[in-house]
Amino acid sequence: MSEQTSVDEQAALPLEEQSNGKRRTMTLNMGPQHPSTHGVLRVVVDLDGEVIRHAAADIGYLHTGIEKQCEVRTWQQVVPLTDRVDYLANLSNNLAYCLAVEKLLGMEIPRRAQWMRVMLTELTRINSHLVWLGTHALDIGAMTMFFYCFRERENILRLFEMFSGQRMMTSYFRIGGLALEAPRGWQHAVGKFIRAFPDSIEQYENLLNANPIWMERTKGIAHMTLDDMLNLGVTGPMIRAAGLAWDIRKDEPYSAYSEFDFQVPTRTESDVYARFQVRMDELRESTKIVIQALEGMPEGEFQAEAPGIVLPEREAMKTQMEAMIYHFKIISEGFRVPPGEAYVAVESPRGELGYYVVSDGATNPYRVFMRTPSFGNLIALGPMLQDKLIADSIAALGSMDFVLGDTDR
């Protein structure tokens, strides 16, 4: 908060005082309405010609009070809210929240549901990275990339629609498993997409990797040392591009990730190009995971055996007295979660996404706090842009891959 006031105060000062008697700078407000801030981010930059002398991100324009809203919903009703936090990686948010509540409940999730969750979160990662690649390239001026990426993203959204009935706000994960059994023919649909996808990655790389202008614009730009990143709490592809192979899927496996074979791509240059390469490699790794999940999907239940928490089947609800009572209780009052607190972190496409959930034994959460990766990563913007050019700020913003909903909640 103090950062924000200082930014506003500084913008209000006359030019001479802003610069503390040094060279006069021009203060430029980039955003909240700006084509490249990906939503409603405001970056206040002090310009000396084209050179940025000071940059500060001003966030909060998309604050929707989701954390507070969670406290007045039943445990299950929070899941659709988590979709809205990071709308490009909704299933990662669903997963982190469900895992946290399941930890409090001490539930065992069937293997099939876990594998499904892994497969769908990896599709989410591909989806999110495609949006990142398209908009990042668009920011740097290669506008055709955007359409090529959205062509593949459209296929993923169709898959999501097939699974959950929704393209973006899927809310497909439930406390105790999945919302629905996978639709008929899902193997074919997912297989068709994922087997063709490596060719698309190839195509993107051909368009950008061999392009001297792209290299000029990304190599050595927005460099930041690993130590600085660790101090600021940067996670995800950005820190992996700085050389640290920190991936929660590998280091603290959740769901069924320990059963999958995949690499954690890293680079050491810690510039925009390294981040680009890391994410491109992650697209390949995610493809590998999805193919493994497709081929080795275990049979079994898609929901845990937990009456009173997981909704009974429709047929059972109509024919059995107990099931009907459970159904009524879950729908009207919700289920109770034992008092306690739990923190679960998952590797969202952007980095460490943590859900800290506190229960006082009621049917709604006492507190849901989200440790969102976009917020952690965006802090690095100011130091990263110091003494760089305006055009670099666009490349840097793109390479951070933040979602403002994720930052502001």
Partner 1 sequence: MNPDLTSILGNFYVLTLIKLALVAFVLLTALAYLQWIERKVIAHIQLRVGPTRVGPHGLLQPLADTIKLLTKEDLVPAHVNKFFYVLAPMMAVFFALSAIAVIPFGPKINIFGIETYMQLSDLNIGLLYLLALSGMGVYGIALAGWSSNNKYSLIGGLRSSAQMISYELPLALAIASPLLLAGSLSLREIAESQAGFMLGFIPRWSIFQMPAPQILAFVLFMIAGFAETNRVPFDLPEAENELVAGFHTEYSSMKFASFFMAEYANMVTLCSVATLLFLGGWYPLVPAPVDGFIPPLLLWAGGAMLIFHGLQPARKWDKYTMPAFGAVFLLAGFAFLIPFLQPVLVPLFWFVSKVGILLFLFIWVRATLPRFRYDQLMRFAWAFMFPVSVVHLFATALLVALLK
Of 27 and 76, CB closest to partner 1: 27
Conformation bin of residue 20: beta by default, left when phi > 0, alpha when psi is -120 to 50: left
Please count the residues of this chain forming the interface with partner 1, following the rule CB under 8 A.
32
Of 146 and 355, CB closest to partner 1: 146
Range in contact with partner 1 (rule: CB under 8 A) among 141-149, 156-164, 191-199, 273-281:
141-149
Whole-number Å distance between alpha carbons of 53 and 224: 16
Of 141 and 308, CB closest to partner 1: 141
Torsion of CA 240, 245, 251, 253, to 10 degrees: 50
DSSP string, 87-106: TTSHHHHHHHHHHHHHHHHT
Whole-number Å distance between alpha carbons of 253 and 346: 9
Q: Does 141 bind partner 1 (CB under 8 A)?
A: yes
Q: Does 35 bind partner 1 (CB under 8 A)?
A: yes
Apex 246 CA angle, 240 and 251, nearest 5: 155
Of 59 and 394, CB closest to partner 1: 394
Q: Does 158 bind partner 1 (CB under 8 A)?
A: no
The gap between the terminal CA atoms of the chain, to the nearest Å, is 15
Which residue in 123, 142, 241, 323 binds partner 1 (CB under 8 A)? 142
Contact in structure between 373 and 235 (CB atoms under 8 Å): yes
DSSP string, 371-385: E-HHHHHHTTHHHHH
Which residues, at least 6 apart from 161, have a Cβ–Cβ distance to it below 8 Å?
Answer: 167
Q: Does 189 bind partner 1 (CB under 8 A)?
A: no
Apex 74 CA angle, 71 and 75, nearest 5: 90
Over the window 265 to 284, marking each residue x when it contacts partner 1 by CB under 8 A and - when it does not, the resulting string is --------------------
Q: Does 13 bind partner 1 (CB under 8 A)?
A: no
Of 77 and 211, CB closest to partner 1: 211
Of 90 and 218, CB closest to partner 1: 218
Closest alpha carbon to 400 in 241, 243, 177: 241
Q: Does 390 bind partner 1 (CB under 8 A)?
A: yes
258 DSSP assignment: G
Range in contact with partner 1 (rule: CB under 8 A) among 59-67, 147-155, 295-303, 326-334:
147-155
Whole-number Å distance between alpha carbons of 283 and 237: 11
Which residue in 28, 230, 264, 294 binds partner 1 (CB under 8 A)? 28
Q: Does 144 bind partner 1 (CB under 8 A)?
A: yes
Give me the amino acid identity at 51.
V
What residues numbered 204-223 form the site for partner 1, per CB under 8 A? 207, 211, 213-214, 216-217
Q: Does 15 bind partner 1 (CB under 8 A)?
A: no
Whole-number Å distance between alpha carbons of 405 and 161: 22
Q: Does 157 bind partner 1 (CB under 8 A)?
A: no
Contact in structure between 350 and 377 (CB atoms under 8 Å): yes
Which residue in 34, 73, 223, 329 binds partner 1 (CB under 8 A)? 34
Q: Does 11 bind partner 1 (CB under 8 A)?
A: no
Whole-number Å distance between alpha carbons of 363 and 72: 9
Q: Does 40 bind partner 1 (CB under 8 A)?
A: no
What residues numbered 78-137 form the site for partner 1, per CB under 8 A? 137
CB of 394 to partner 1, least distance (A): 5
Which residue in 392, 401, 406, 408 binds partner 1 (CB under 8 A)? 392
CB of 280 to partner 1, least distance (A): 16
Separate counts of helices (H) and strands (E) for the chain: 19, 8
Whole-number Å distance between alpha carbons of 319 and 42: 57
Q: Which residues bind partner 1 (CB under 8 A)?
A: 26, 28, 34-36, 47, 49-50, 137-144, 146-148, 151, 207, 211, 213-214, 216-217, 389-394
